[in-house]
Structure 1
């Protein structure tokens, strides 16, 4: 079954979608979209460092993403405006990575694959790495779910409950770096954040509990990856952007359904009066 490149691509997309679902929910709840963007953009610099040092690209992306996330976290604690800092760091990392890649000679580099993904080229080894990374992220999220949720709701409540918000923040940083590293092959640097945020945002109108939002986000992310693959095959379009476009369509439908639901409830409340 794994000899079929479409099957490998679908399994890779599903693995990334499952890992991104709980992490994306925390990114939405904590309003960390720019944080995810900065970490994802640092992946290009990680690719360049890996090529220069002739090491594993996965390891290079993971290390540089962790360094970027840790740097942003430490600088934000010193009074820097978070949105400005993240904008500077994200675009600086992307630019430095692209410049560094241009100095790498003797190695064939497909920048488009790193920027927008190349899910159809996922091999069996890539698939194993993606699912191992997804299992790690899901394991971390499941083990630390209560602490992460408490720290997200209120830091004072977290301290009172014996939860260290800084530790939970580092767990999120580690999970984000892992997702960026394994998703690089699927949707690329420029689209990773979209796959994190859009399914979680689309799940929000239909969720009454945090757990429900994670499950719905996972289902929507899976639908976006498999639907995007199918649409790209039919339309002969770039796969990564097509996956994100399908996710955006699901978000639009979710927003519309949410508004209709709210209007119906409002009309019913007026009728009861």
Structure 2
């Protein structure tokens, strides 16, 4: 029997893949205070699902296209003087609403909307697993290639400009990486919970990290622990897997904050 024939093994590997992809990107989301940006990109993914089903395309391709379009549109409009908070709020909810309406127009296609909204990690197949880990490796390669420039542009844009680094170009790299993470994570936690998996492990790791590199590694470990712990808890308590993974991540975040308070005393 092949190890990947077990749906629990595939689910565990999928959760680990998403956690590893989201970890370094989540750190930049925390450092740049881009939580709403990630949320808007994730919410647009449901429109990508509708697009992929309507034109008989792979879900990954449709989600990636729409996530990239959303992220680039937000960046473009923000650079034209629009208020970022207002813009993200309008586009996040509008994209989700248009996506849900578009799905309702699909005829002759059965779609489990809850699976796309909250994830269905237990239904991950071998092809899904290959897509998830392929996307993960691509995200890691992209972030690893631009790590130093991204870090400089994040911590001190003026220094980055003086060093010949274009902050807007690095923002574009983050946009591409974010779209990739959204595309690979939709099967695991769904569009409504992707931002949580980006943000919570990185925010938890921040309490224990001395360097940016250590924070990214810790975030990957915490994300992986949340994925495996949530999968186990969902199996034991018969709860929805995607939300349970996020609940475990939230518990780890609360425990880290409690530990910090106790250490301070």
Normalised by the length of structure 2, the TM-score is 0.98
Cα offsets for 1:141-191 (capped at 9, x unmatched): 111100000000111100111111111101100000000000000000000
How much does 1:261 deviate?
2.2
Aligned to 1:140: 142
Pairwise CA RMSD of aligned residues?
Answer: 0.6
Paired with 1:204 and 1:159, the residues of 2 have a C-alpha distance of 26
Aligned to 1:267: none
Give the alignment partner of residue 218 of structure 1, picking from 217, 220, 223.
220
Give the alignment partner of residue 204 of structure 2, picking from 182, 191, 202.
202
Aligned to 2:70: 68
Aligned to 1:161: 163
Contact kept in structure 2, 1:21 and 1:221, CA below 8 Å: yes
Q: Find out whether 1:245 has 2:223 as its counterpart.
A: no
Normalised by the length of structure 1, the TM-score is 0.95
Q: Find out whether 1:47 has 2:49 as its counterpart.
A: yes
Paired with 1:150 and 1:170, the residues of 2 have a C-alpha distance of 15
Cα offsets for 1:39-84 (capped at 9, x unmatched): 0000000011111111111101000000000000011111111111
Paired with 1:18 and 1:261, the residues of 2 have a C-alpha distance of 29
Paired with 2:253 and 2:212, the residues of 1 have a C-alpha distance of 18
Contact kept in structure 2, 1:206 and 1:258, CA below 8 Å: no
Paired with 1:92 and 1:111, the residues of 2 have a C-alpha distance of 17
Aligned to 1:124: 126
How much does 1:104 deviate?
0.1
The residue correspondences of 1:52-131 to structure 2 (distance < 5 A) are: 52-131=54-133
Q: Determine helix, strand or coil for the equivalent of 1:162.
A: coil
Q: Determine helix, strand or coil for the equivalent of 1:205.
A: coil
Q: Determine helix, strand or coil for the equivalent of 1:105.
A: coil
Paired with 1:234 and 1:186, the residues of 2 have a C-alpha distance of 18
Aligned length: 263
Paired with 2:60 and 2:211, the residues of 1 have a C-alpha distance of 34
Q: In structure 2, list runs of 5 or more residues that go unmatched.
A: none
How much does 1:235 deviate?
0.1
Paired with 2:139 and 2:175, the residues of 1 have a C-alpha distance of 11
How much does 1:262 deviate?
2.6
Aligned to 1:266: none
Q: Determine helix, strand or coil for the equivalent of 2:44.
A: helix
Cα offsets for 1:212-258 (capped at 9, x unmatched): 11111010000000000000000000000000000000000011112
Paired with 2:114 and 2:139, the residues of 1 have a C-alpha distance of 27
Paired with 2:108 and 2:264, the residues of 1 have a C-alpha distance of 59
Paired with 1:167 and 1:251, the residues of 2 have a C-alpha distance of 32
Paired with 1:64 and 1:132, the residues of 2 have a C-alpha distance of 19
Specify the structure having the higher radius of gyration (Cα).
Answer: 1
Give the alignment partner of residue 21 of structure 2, picking from 1, 19, 24.
19
